[in-house]
Structure 1
């Protein structure tokens, strides 16, 4: 019984290590998102850290339009980054966890 418990504890520690390594790797995975017309572009990591924003000069003339573009493009980028983040972390955790019936 203790052998099984010790084995499971080892597997859990291994899973935790894999998740932490995946989190670090996701800092290097870049998500690019742009408006349909290409006037606004943002880049963020899969950990949802904003890296860059490129705004075409044409958008600088209309504050409301720029705000709308920022909201739309940023929300799309965050959604894509979140999907990548969750999928990668779930895969890392599942691969490292012991086979516990009903867990997955």
Structure 2
């Protein structure tokens, strides 16, 4: 039984290491979100760090519209990044976890 526990602990440690590696890799996975009219473009990493925002000159003339666009499309970009992040981290964590009855 003690050997099984050591083996499980080793698998958990390896899973944690794979999760950390995946988090680092997700820094280089980019999601692009643009408004339908292409006046606003946002690029965000799968770790939810905004990398770039492009605003068309036309939007700069209307502060309220720009604010609305930013709120809507940043939230969409964050949602998409979160979905990718969660899926990747979950897959790696589940793959590396030992088979413990009652936890799946």
TM-score tier (shorter): over 0.9
Q: TM-score, normalised by structure 2?
A: 0.98
Shift of 1:9: 0.5
Q: TM-score, normalised by structure 1?
A: 0.98
Moved over 2 A (4+): none
Root-mean-square deviation (Å): 0.5
Indicate yes or no: 2:44 matched with 1:44: yes
* Aligned counterparts of 1:27 and 1:101: Cα–Cα separation in 2: 34
Shift of 1:103: 1.3
1:74 maps to what in 2?
A: 74
* Aligned counterparts of 1:92 and 1:67: Cα–Cα separation in 2: 37
**Mind listing any 5+ residue stretches in structure 2 that lack a counterpart?**
none
Shift of 1:47: 0.3
| Offset from partner CA, 1:64-95 (integer Å, 9 cap, x none) | 00000000110000000000000000001000
Shift of 1:36: 0.7
1:14 maps to what in 2?
A: 14
| Offset from partner CA, 1:34-73 (integer Å, 9 cap, x none) | 0011100000100000100000000000000000000011
